Structure 1
Amino acid sequence: FGVGKTTLAQLVYNDEKVAGFFDSKAWIYVSEDFDVIKVMKAILQSVNGGVPDTNDLNLLHIKLKEELSVKKILFVLDDFWHDNYVDWTSLILPLEVGKSRSKIIITTRNQNVAKMTGTLPAYQLKELAYDDCLSVLAHHSLGRENFDGHPHLNDIGKEIVKKCKGLPLALS
């Protein structure tokens, strides 16, 4: 289990206020198998529903630049592992056209990726404190802040929280 990077990004991505700010949204799952052409095509598919039948990166860049010149887009690059700066600049080049309007959220477990992007400082998600975990568990299981109304479940809840080791996704 993770600490909830993707879940947090999904909450932002699906928030109504955020959605109203952008003309379009694109969620791209990247993972360890980074391929600039594949990611560019996935972005274009999300943005306009169509992908040019080409593997020419320059043509894909041109098509995406056209979209970005008229649209404000929220991009999420989820589970981005690849920390090669040359590949990163090749991917980001067309995204800089709409830079002032479009936004990119990147989820990664690789600190080098966060540094490589050279943008805002990375937001580090950490494990929850024991009491916070207990509160989250009570909320998910009972719809309450704590186990006060259910003392017979308190010990079970504490055991579950110990096993989850502060990982919020393990509680859900």
Structure 2
Amino acid sequence: MGGMGKTTLAQLVYNDPSIKESFDHKSWVCVADDFDAVNITQTILRSLDADSRDENDLNLLQVKLKEKLSGKRFLLVLDDIWNESYSDWTILRAPFAAGTKIIVTTRLEKVSSNVDPVKAFYLDKLSHHDCLSIFAQHALKARSFAGHLQFKEIGENIVRRFNGLPLAAKAIGSLLRTVQDHSEWENVYENEI
């Protein structure tokens, strides 16, 4: 499901200080609907060498990538993959050696099984309490409604509508960040969107 926090979790791992110590290089590619091995490989190469020329020959790109990564530890994040083709996945990962670790975010279980994961993590909806905390952080710059009791009841009602989705809590919380009028909070709650 969208909005569960897959990308956010991958970002936390990618930006963790211990990752910098563990890998020689790292690269992030947002894939989405366009699973094109040439474009993905070009993006990875550019992240390793800004001066790399744009080639359209996948074989040449993969040879260059393999040379760049030879003997190096490499972390690759492929965010938001929708392509379920095992053969496409096999072609894309051809230049990566044993020192490469790949994190994939996807909504599709078949994509996860094609990647042949060492470990798959399935994200679940947040508890009401955790979702309320995220909402409060973004709407009130606070971890809870303790200092903002006038918004507590309407805030809890709004959060129930998020059904545990952290992205909804963040987005609507951010929308209400500068709103101090209780009636505006009620308008958000009553909005069908």
Report the TM-score when normalising by structure 1: 0.89
Deviation at 1:112, TM superposition (A): 0.7
1:52, 1:60 within 8 Å by CA — same for their partners in 2?
no
Instruction: Give the alignment of 1:43-62 within 5 angstroms.
Output: 43-62=44-63
Deviation at 1:77, TM superposition (A): 0.5
- Which has more radius of gyration? 2
For residues 49 and 76 of structure 1, the distance between their equivalents in structure 2, rounded to whole angstroms, comes to 18
Query: Paired residue for 2:180?
Result: none
1:44, 1:50 within 8 Å by CA — same for their partners in 2?
no
CA RMSD of aligned residues (A): 1.8
The 3-state SS of whatever aligns with 2:52 is coil
Q: Structure 2: where are the runs of 5+ without partners?
A: 171-193
Identity among equivalent positions (%) equals 47
Residue deviations 1:26-73 (CA, integer Å, cap 9, x gap): 111111111111111111111222334432222111111111113222
1:28, 1:77 within 8 Å by CA — same for their partners in 2?
yes
Instruction: Give the alignment of 1:1-172 within 5 angstroms.
Output: 2-95=3-96, 97=97, 99=98, 101-172=99-170
Q: Structure 1: where are the runs of 5+ without partners?
A: none
2:83, 2:111 within 8 Å by CA — same for their partners in 1?
yes
The 3-state SS of whatever aligns with 1:29 is strand
For residues 16 and 110 of structure 1, the distance between their equivalents in structure 2, rounded to whole angstroms, comes to 29
Greater relative contact order (Cα 8 A, min sep 6): structure 1 or 2? Answer: 1
For residues 14 and 121 of structure 1, the distance between their equivalents in structure 2, rounded to whole angstroms, comes to 20
Number of residue pairs aligned between Structure 1 and Structure 2: 169
- Could you say if the C-alpha distance between residues 13 and 152 of structure 1 is closer, same or farther in structure 2, counting changes exceeding 3 Å? same
1:74, 1:102 within 8 Å by CA — same for their partners in 2?
yes
Report the TM-score when normalising by structure 2: 0.80
Residue deviations 1:115-151 (CA, integer Å, cap 9, x gap): 0111223211111111221233234444544323432
2:37, 2:91 within 8 Å by CA — same for their partners in 1?
yes
